[in-house]
C-alpha cells in the first residue's frame, strides 16, 4: 500500500510540478474519507534550494529520508535537460527500485530517472519539447512523446506540467480504487481521467525549405485543401512527371504529398475548431475530409482525441460544442 511519499528536489525545481505532488500526497483530507500519506519534501542539494521562479525552498529532510519511501517523485526543474545529477541522489533512486518501491517523474524530472539508469529498456515519456533530447541522451529508453504518462510498474513517467496530475490520479486509482481517485479529482477541480495524450498539444509546424521547386504547388495546395488531389494532378500543376514530382516533394518537405496534405488539413481543422462555431460536418467539408466520420478518424490517429473533445479543450469564448 502506498503510505510513505517523498518528493525529491534538485536546484531550480519548478514550483507548479512540486505543487502537484504536495496537493495530491501532502494534504490531509481524511475528513473526506481520502487516503493520508506520510509526505516529505527532500533536498538532494542542501537545505535551501532555488526554484525556477526565483524564490527559495528550505527543508529539513535530506537523502536519508528516501530510504523509507514507498514512492519517490521527482518534479521538473529549469536545467534538468543538460545538468549533472548528484550521484548520491541517483543511488537513492536505484536503491528504491531495488527494494520494490516506486519512482515517478513529472515532466523533465524524467532526466533524473534516466541518469539513474531507470529508463533503460522501459517505456517512458516527458514533455513533448524534451522528448527527442531524452531519447538522444538515453538511447536505451523507449520514449513515447504522445502520451500523458507511462506506467511501467515501478517506474512511472509523466509528460509536461499538468500531466503530473494525471499520473498522480492514476496512482491513487491503482492503490485505492476509482472512488478515491474521483473524489480527489473533484476536490482538486480537475477531470479524473483525460482522454488522448499530449499529441494534441504539440506544435507541429511543417518544414519549409528556402529553395522550393514545389513551392508554388504547396501554396496552391494550402489554398485548396477542400479539393480532392492526386499526385498526377499536383505533378501537372508543377509541370513535372508524377515520379519527379514525388521525389522533389520528398526532398524539399521531408514527407510525401499525401502526408503533407493530411497534416495541413488536420491543422486547419484544429484552427477552425478553436476559433469558430462551425459544425464538425462543415469543418470536414472545408478541410477536405468530406465527412465528420473521416475527420474524426484522422483526428484520433493524429492527435489521439476527437474533434469535439479537442474543441472542448481549446475552444475560444462563445464557441459551441456539438452533442455526440
DSSP per-residue letters across 246-280: HHHHHHHHSS-HHHHHHHHHHHHHHHHHHH----H
3-state secondary structure of 17: helix
Residue 26 DSSP label: S
- The answer to whether 164 and 158 are in contact (CB under 8 A) is yes
Owner of C-alpha cell 496530475: 165
> Residues 22, 107, 124, 211: which is the catalytic one?
107
The CA distance from 79 to 228, in Å, is 47
The CA distance from 87 to 236, in Å, is 62
Distance of alpha carbon 39 from its chain centroid, rounded? Answer: 26
- The answer to whether 54 and 16 are in contact (CB under 8 A) is no
Strand segments (E) across 44-129: 48-50, 56-58, 71-74, 102-106, 123-124
The CA distance from 106 to 161, in Å, is 7
The CA distance from 105 to 306, in Å, is 28
Taking the alpha carbons at both ends of the chain, their separation in whole angstroms is 40
- 39, containing H or E segment: strand 38-43
Residue 211 annotated to the active site:
no
Residues annotated as catalytic are 107
Amino acid at each position: 500500500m502506498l503510505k510513505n511519499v517523498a518528493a525529491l528536489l534538485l536546484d531550480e525545481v519548478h514550483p507548479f510540478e512540486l505543487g502537484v505532488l504536495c496537493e495530491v500526497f501532502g494534504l490531509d483530507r481524511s475528513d473526506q474519507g481520502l487516503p493520508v500519506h506520510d509526505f516529505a519534501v527532500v533536498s538532494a542539494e542542501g537545505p535551501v534550494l532555488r526554484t525556477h521562479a526565483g524564490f527559495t525552498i528550505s527543508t529539513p529532510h535530506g537523502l536519508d529520508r528516501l530510504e523509507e519511501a514507498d514512492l519517490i517523485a521527482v518534479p521538473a526543474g529549469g536545467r534538468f535537460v543538460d545538468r549533472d545529477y548528484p550521484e548520491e541522489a541517483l543511488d537513492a533512486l536505484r536503491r528504491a527500485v531495488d527494494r520494490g518501491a516506486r519512482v515517478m517523474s513529472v515532466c523533465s524530472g524524467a532526466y533524473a530517472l534516466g541518469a539513474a539508469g531507470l529508463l533503460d529498456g522501459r517505456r517512458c515519456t516527458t514533455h513533448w519539447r524534451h522528448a527527442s533530447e531524452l531519447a538522444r541522451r538515453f538511447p536505451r529508453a523507449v520514449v513515447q512523446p504522445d502520451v500523458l504518462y507511462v506506467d511501467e510498474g515501478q517506474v512511472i513517467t509523466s509528460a509536461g506540467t499538468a500531466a503530473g496530475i494525471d499520473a498522480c490520479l492514476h496512482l491513487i486509482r491503482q492503490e485505492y480504487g476509482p472512488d478515491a481517485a474521483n473524489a480527489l479529482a473533484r476536490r482538486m477541480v480537475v477531470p479524473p481521467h483525460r482522454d488522448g495524450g499530449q499529441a494534441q498539444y504539440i506544435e507541429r509546424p511543417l518544414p519549409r525549405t528556402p529553395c522550393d521547386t514545389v513551392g508554388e504547388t504547396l501554396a496552391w495546395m494550402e489554398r485548396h485543401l477542400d479539393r480532392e488531389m492526386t499526385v498526377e494532378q499536383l505533378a501537372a500543376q508543377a509541370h513535372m512527371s508524377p515520379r519527379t514530382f514525388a521525389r522533389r516533394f520528398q526532398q524539399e518537405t521531408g514527407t510525401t504529398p499525401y502526408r503533407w496534405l493530411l497534416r495541413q488539413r488536420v491543422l486547419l481543422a484544429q484552427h477552425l475548431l478553436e476559433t469558430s462555431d462551425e459544425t464538425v460536418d462543415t469543418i470536414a467539408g472545408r478541410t477536405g475530409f468530406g465527412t465528420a466520420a473521416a475527420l474524426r478518424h484522422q483526428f484520433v490517429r493524429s492527435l489521439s482525441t476527437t474533434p469535439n473533445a479537442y474543441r472542448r479543450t481549446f475552444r475560444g469564448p462563445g464557441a459551441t460544442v456539438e452533442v455526440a
